Structure 1
Amino acid sequence: MADAASRLTTIVEELLGTPFPLRLRAWDGSEAGPTSGPVLVVRDRRALRRLMWRPGELGLARAWVAGEIEVEGDLYAALDLLSGVLWERDDERSLSVRDPRVRSAARAFVRLAGALPAPRPPAEEVPRRTGALHTKTRDRQAISHHYDVGNPFYELVLGPSMVYSCAYWDESCGLEEAQRAKLDLVCRKLGLTEGERLLDVGCGWGSMAMHAAREYGVQVTGITISREQAAYARKRIAEAGLTDRIEIRVQDYRDVRDGPFDAISSIGMAEHVGSVRYLQYAGQLHSLLAPGGRLLNHQIARRPERDETAYEIDEFIDRYVFPDGELSPLGTTVSMLEQAGFEVRDVESIREHYARTLRRWVANLEDGWDRAVGLTSPGRARVWRLYMAASAVSFERNRIGVNQILAVKTPESGAAGLPLRARTWN
């Protein structure tokens, strides 16, 4: 077993057809690869068995969550280097168990790791689900997996703002100021005025509802299907003396019946809707708006595939982070909103803002690492560190983006009610 690092590096390079970009340290202490930059540490041979049984992203993710692989040095630099050889290759989809390269690598892995049964997935992994996507019951279970991990954990990661979506930065502000700027941008795009009714879909811990009620004098109905979020939001609202202006409900967007509303905000919620339900989601929000009402849909988007039928859900995200979550191209989302009857009036890409936001959240997690582990588990903390850091790199490399779409339920008269120079947002 001497020099496992060199043997493993050779296997990977033959599999990928390119030099492995990181230095690698194996469980026997041996090292191979570049002498500078971050180091990928394979602490346990079990990581190889995971890759034998599940080649690709899910096998790597399981080894990471289990603590069998680690990165020493700059995690972002390591992910950036790995992106070019693992996730942005033209032949990525050919790396399946039927690929001769994978079979050859598996035989070599067997010699390194031993032909033992597949290790059990880490406890943090969601078991494979069956049945129809995006039923109300299945959506509640998915949301609970991600959001009901304890409000103190989210306080540590997100900071006092408790806003779990992209902030809106300038060069001098901090995270709290950037999140407040985002909430205010949404309110201004919606043109909120005192006394109007706002529906906040996916209200989270109540930050948008509180900002709109306090700063713009609107009556807010916030809905979430996370009971922990709702309880936390109600407590914050009571402490702020805003219970007469804000109602928080544990309610699915499909069950809201008390429109019309003057405006609707949906910030970081539509990623959970799914393609099979998106037209229903858009139609429901359209039906809940008064004529002339505005929707601000803030949503992450992926880049379109050359062949959309070949698109596959990210296995790590699906099993460990957002079960059943889906990203769609921006054009698909705009088309769905238009099919539902909306007039799309403005689209603003704020991709770089999300990369900066995620880096700040990762720093919060790393600064409070021991507490984060105590509040959840070592595996859960590792899931979040990898998910947020990898997402930051994906935004920086333009693999994914985030957009604010302003849409109007334009009345029959055609008067949408927006200013001629709409970007003044008043």
Structure 2
Amino acid sequence: MINWQEVKEKVTIMNRIIKKIKAELEPAGIHINGTRPWDIQVKDDRLFERVVRNGSLGLGEAYMDGWWEAEALDRFFTRVLQARLEKKLALKPAVILEYLKSLLTNRQNQDKAYEIGEHHYDAGNDLYKIMLDKRMVYTCGYWQETETLDEAQEAKLDLVCRKIGLQSGQRVLDIGCGWGSFAQYAAEEYGAEVVGITVSKEQVELGRERCKGLPVEIRLQDYREVNEPFDHIVSLGMIEHVGSKNYRTYMQTAHRCLKDDGIFLLHTIGSNRSVRTTDPWIEKYIFPNSQLPSIRQLALASEGLFVMEDWQNFGVHYDKTLMAWYQNFDAGWDELKSTYSERFYRMWTYYLLSCAGSFRARKNQLWQIVFSKQGISGGFVPPRYRSEG
């Protein structure tokens, strides 16, 4: 027999939840089942209770399950983050659990160093070949005076080479080398010798193939294991996997391996606040054991080891990069769907477009930091754009 009183109470509670969520979305100009591209289209009413219970983790998982849509997911997240609605989702069990884990354990210690490689970067080279540019650069492009993803990534690689003053025959350590994009470029265009290290077996295999015949060595190696001299060091999009408990060790490793007159260039996504955790959905599905560094955290980690010569922020360029990656991924889905599920498609779409919205809202930044060990005589001179020099 149906207990109509219980049904009535559940309906009343659900109506209250929906009313509350509608009110919270109002400052962002987002309407439930509205007509604009950034409005949320609800396909399953269980969404509301799931979000209230599990916050951003529930929101992301509900999208993966097809419980809601937004025609322009990137624009939805831009509005959510500009209105700071993520704070409404903050004090949920998943968030609290991740915070406690970060306090009580070192989630990026050496025993766990290879987990991110297995989970994310070993997801399949075919996926990344379709999504990325021709050089397979999996970091923010530099869109200054460029129009295509290929051009933006080459401009970024060239900018890095010019910032470190790379000369033919110099030996460079690339911490977190990916599929060897920087190593290949530096060897081909500047005549450098490069040692690249990564924790991804898939990246090592393809990176060695792409760099065959060049003075490039690609290693499956944790950064803490390196102990040899280099003229310069670059690290492009790797410290996001290091964790604040290990930033000092990371900086000490770079200091140990860098010659006294060398340059260390750190390229990283940055957070506006010093935090120990990442978004629970990103942590679970995309980048386990990840953490975005803040200015304060990087400054403290490098204090007494390096002179900070230059700090450039081009975080707005990551929005364009992520949108280009999504367009490539979406256009190439027919080639991938025999290998990956529809749920994976929704997960990857959510990842790329939510991150694009985050950078557009200036929630996240992209920093290139130039360090020297003893200070550059006369100071660091930022390189001109390629068309000027």
Which bracket does the TM-score occupy, shorter chain normalised?
0.7 to 0.9
Q: Where in structure 2 are the equivalents of 1:61-100 lying within 5 Å?
A: 61-71=60-70, 73-84=71-82, 87-89=85-87, 93=90
Q: Which residue of 2 aligns with 1:174?
A: 148
| Deviation of 1:11 (Å) | 2.7
Contact between 1:38 and 1:74, CA under 8 Å: does it hold in 2? yes
Number of paired residues? 368
Q: Is the 8 A contact 1:302 1:329 kept in 2?
A: yes
Please state how far the C-alpha of 1:171 moved relative to its aligned partner: 4.4
**TM, length-normalised to structure 2:** 0.86
Shift of 1:215: 1.0
Shift, 1:288, TM fit: 0.4
Give the counterpart letter for 1:12 in structure 2: I
Please tell me whether residue 12 in structure 1 is matched to residue 1 in structure 2.
no
Please give the secondary structure, in 1, of the residue aligned with 2:32.
strand
Change (3 A) 1:40 1:246: same
Matched, 1:281 2:250: yes
Q: Distance in 1 between matches of 2:151 and 2:346?
A: 28
Q: SS of the counterpart of 1:388?
A: helix
By how many angstroms is 1:370 displaced?
Answer: 3.1
Q: Give 3-state SS (helix, strand or coil) of 1:324's partner.
A: coil
Q: Structure 1, residues 350-407: CA drift from partner, whole Å, max 9, x if none?
A: 1111111111111111212333333322222222211111111111111110100000
Q: Give the aligned partner of residue 254 of structure 1.
A: 224
Q: What residue is the counterpart of 2:260 in the other structure?
A: 291
Q: Which residue of 1 aligns with 2:294?
A: 329
The one-letter code of the counterpart of 2:44 is: D
Question: How big is the shift at 1:139?
Answer: 2.2
Note the alpha carbon deviations across 1:130-159, whole angstroms, 9 max, x for none: 964112232211221011010000011113
After superposition, where does 1:78-227 map in structure 2 within 5 Å?
78-84=76-82, 87-89=85-87, 93=90, 132-227=106-201
Please list, as runs of the form range in 1=range in 2, the aligned pairs for 1:235-384 lying within 5 A after superposition.
Answer: 235-238=209-212, 241-242=213-214, 245-257=215-227, 259-304=228-273, 312-339=277-304, 341-384=305-348
Percent identical: 35
Out of 366, 370, 376, the position equivalent to 1:402 is 366
Does the CA contact (< 8 Å) of 2:50 and 2:58 recur in 1?
yes
Q: For the Cα contact (< 8 Å) 2:141–2:317, is it kept in 1?
A: yes
> Aligned equivalents of 1:181 and 1:267: distance in 2?
14
Query: 2: distance between equivalents of 1:266 and 1:384?
Result: 25
Give SS of 1:422's match.
coil
| Distance change >3 Å, CA 297–CA 9, structure 1 → 2 | farther
Question: Is residue 424 from structure 1 mapped to residue 388 from structure 2 by the alignment?
Answer: no
| Deviation readout 1:217-272 (Å, 9 max, x if unpaired) | 1111111010000000011112xx31xx0111101111112x21000010000100
Paired with 2:12 and 2:267, the residues of 1 have a C-alpha distance of 47
Distance 1:81 1:12, change over 3 A: farther
CA shift in 2, pair 1:188/1:168, >3 Å: same
| C-alpha distance 12-184 of structure 1, shift in aligned 2 (>3 A) | same
Query: In the superposition, relative to structure 1, how do residues 7 and 158 fare at CA in structure 2: closer, same or farther (>3 Å)?
Result: farther
Contact 1:342–1:408 at 8 Å: present in 2 too?
Answer: yes
Cα distance in 2 between the residues matched to 1:281 and 1:9: 51
RMSD: 2.9
Q: Of 362, 378, 392, which aligns to 2:356?
A: 392
- Indicate how the Cα distance of structure 1 residues 289 and 85 shifts in structure 2: closer, same or farther if over 3 A, else same: closer
Amino acid corresponding to residue 422 of structure 1 in structure 2: V
Pair 55,405 (structure 1): closer, same or farther in 2 beyond 3 Å: same
Is the CA contact (8 Å cut-off) linking 2:204 and 2:219 kept in structure 1?
yes
Do 1:42 and 1:70's aligned partners in 2 also have CA atoms closer than 8 Å?
Answer: yes
The secondary structure found in structure 2 opposite 1:398 is coil
Equivalent residue, structure 2, for 1:233:
207
CA separation in 2, counterparts of 1:421 and 1:202?
25
Equivalent in the alignment of 2:32: 24
Name the CA distance, whole Å, in 2 between partners of 1:69 and 1:221. 46
Alignment match, 1:60: 59
Structure 1 pair 15–396 and aligned structure 2 pair: CA distance change class (3 A): closer
- Counterpart-to-counterpart distance in 1, 2:105 and 2:79: 38
Alpha-carbon distance in structure 2 between the residues aligned to 1:17 and 1:45: 17
CA shift, 1:96, in A, is: 7.0
| Cα contact 1:372–1:381 (8 A) shared by 2 | no
Q: Is the 1:267–1:297 contact (alpha carbons within 8 Å) kept by the matching residues of 2? A: yes
Mapped contact 1:18–1:85 kept (Cα < 8 A): no
SS in 1 for 2:303: helix
Q: Which blocks of at least 5 consecutive residues in structure 2 are unaligned?
A: 1-6, 95-100
Amino acid corresponding to residue 308 of structure 2 in structure 1: V
When the two structures are superposed, what TM-score results if normalisation uses the length of structure 1? 0.79
Secondary structure, counterpart of 1:294 in structure 2:
strand
